[in-house]
């Protein structure tokens, strides 16, 4: 009897069921045997059979098992950083290749391509090659994510009530909006217990996306933006300082207010305070005279003082806003850190406020 066969393929897909059906006509005795194989296959599994080859059921099962055993390195599989701090992510699988970003400790992503030494992976916006020595794969990657990942609930509805108890009849502790994310304390069938402003709260699960959050690496561009923002925040933090209150008299307030008017009377109030802070920073510095009058009238320092403009302003009256700015500076407040100089914007680098730069 002429042999016949139907060639079938078993293609794997993550969390999918692969079915291989084939019919073989036996050579011994001419009997026909039919088999149906139902197995869970790994993502991207190779073809079980090649055209023109007649497989046995055992061969097919063996191939499926091999695919399952190698599933950890298939595209889409989880991978986690195996480092104490960070590992370089490169454009090509080479230590000499261009640096694209960094994958930090406790961060992870998904495999795009695996080789014996390097893995192409995607971690958020960062895609590149990482040396396998610095990665966890398979069960080790899953265990790491279970340890460092945080279960989060993302709200998918507008104006969702946070309940004090897991019931629609419970009092509301507050209201959250679509896109808000919260740490999950306990995941139930109908209600999710969250950390809401430091206290337990409950959200209806049908209005949530709940899952394990994984941190990703950073591209060089993202690192540059973050570091610049960190520097800006640091500069802002250093700007605002409180020193000891200066035991000022009414004439001290008037004198400093007059100088502020002459130097920055057309500036915003913040700029006025900054000029007063510069004067007080000089007073606190051993490089300048140790009296308010000495600092303001020092030769070659403040032009309005040397030209007589400050004295004329005192004689004609100092505006209230300038006196208020002077009082803030005398009370020990500085919005320019330890700056002891200022000029028109564009003539120096420093803290820009209005038309002046302070350093």
Return the top range by mean pLDDT from 9-18, 26-35, 266-275: 266-275
Distance CA 325, CA 24 (A): 95
pLDDT score of 53: 64
Closest CA to 129 of 93, 173, 77: 93
End-to-end CA distance of the chain: 98
What confidence tier does 147 reach under pLDDT thresholds 50, 70, 90?
A: very high
Residues 259-286: tens digit of each pLDDT: 999 999 999 999 999 999 999 999 999 9
Contacts with 328 (C-beta within 8 Å, 6 or more apart), sequence order: 273, 276
Please state which CATH number belongs to domain 241-358: 1.10.10.2520
pLDDT score of 65: 83
Q: Is the pTM higher than 0.85?
A: no
Closest CA to 205 of 165, 159, 154: 154
Query: Cα dist. 17→12, 21, 22, 38 in Å?
Result: 8, 13, 16, 7
Please determine, for residue 171, whether its predicted confidence score (pLDDT) is greater than 90.
yes
- The secondary structure of residue 96, as a DSSP letter, is T
More confident residue, 108 or 43: 108
* Cα four-point dihedral sign 21, 26, 29, 30: positive
Q: Look-up: residue for tokens 């994958």?
A: 103
Q: Are 330 and 276 in contact (CB under 8 A)?
A: yes
More confident residue, 308 or 48: 308
> One fold for both 150-213 and 241-358?
no
pLDDT score of 24: 28
Residues 41-75: tens digit of each pLDDT: 334 444 444 455 677 888 888 878 887 888 999 99
Rounded to the nearest integer, the mean pLDDT of the chain is: 87
pLDDT score of 42: 39
The domain limits of the chain are: 16-69, 150-213, 241-358
What confidence tier does 340 reach under pLDDT thresholds 50, 70, 90?
A: very high
pLDDT score of 52: 55
Does domain 150-213 correspond to CATH entry 3.30.505.10? no
Task: Please state which of the ranges 26-35, 156-165, 215-224, 287-296 shows the lowest mean pLDDT.
Answer: 26-35
What is the token pair recorded at 113?
């391509």
More confident residue, 193 or 232: 193
Task: Please state which of the ranges 37-46, 65-74, 222-231, 291-300 shows the lowest mean pLDDT.
Answer: 37-46
Distance CA 251, CA 291 (A): 13
């Amino acid at each position: 009897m002429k042999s016949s066969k139907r060639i079938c393929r078993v293609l794997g897909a993550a969390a999918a069921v692969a079915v291989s059906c084939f019919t073989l006509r036996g050579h011994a005795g001419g009997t026909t045997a039919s088999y149906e194989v139902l197995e869970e296959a790994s993502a991207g599994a190779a073809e079980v059979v090649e055209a023109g080859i007649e497989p046995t059921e055992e061969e097919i099962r063996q191939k499926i098992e091999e695919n399952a055993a190698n599933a950890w390195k298939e595209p889409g599989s989880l991978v986690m950083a195996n480092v104490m701090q960070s590992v370089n992510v490169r454009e090509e699988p080479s230590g000499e290749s261009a640096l694209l970003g960094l994958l930090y400790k406790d961060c992870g992503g998904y495999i795009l391509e695996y080789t014996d030494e390097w893995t192409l992976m995607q971690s958020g916006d960062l895609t590149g090659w990482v040396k396998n020595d610095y990665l966890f794969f398979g069960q080790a990657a899953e265990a790491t994510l279970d340890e460092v990942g945080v279960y989060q609930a993302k709200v998918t509805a507008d104006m969702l009530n946070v309940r004090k108890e897991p019931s629609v009849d419970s009092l509301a502790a507050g209201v959250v909006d679509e896109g808000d994310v919260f740490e999950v304390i306990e995941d139930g069938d109908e209600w999710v217990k969250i950390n809401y402003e430091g206290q337990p709260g409950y959200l209806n699960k049908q209005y949530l996306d709940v899952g394990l959050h994984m941190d990703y690496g950073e591209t060089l561009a993202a690192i540059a933006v973050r570091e610049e923002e960190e520097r800006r925040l640091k500069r802002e933090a250093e700007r605002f300082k409180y020193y000891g209150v200066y035991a000022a008299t009414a004439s001290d307030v008037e004198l400093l207010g007059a100088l502020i008017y002459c130097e920055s009377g057309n500036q915003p109030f913040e700029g006025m305070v900054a000029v007063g802070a510069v004067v007080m920073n000089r007073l606190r510095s051993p490089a300048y005279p140790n009296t308010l009058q000495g600092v303001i009238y020092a030769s070659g320092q403040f032009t309005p003082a040397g030209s007589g403009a400050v004295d004329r302003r005192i004689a004609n009256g100092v505006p209230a806003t300038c006196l208020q700015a002077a009082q803030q500076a005398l009370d020990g407040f500085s919005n320019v850190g330890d700056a002891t100089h200022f000029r028109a914007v564009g003539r120096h680098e420093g803290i820009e406020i209005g038309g002046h730069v302070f350093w």
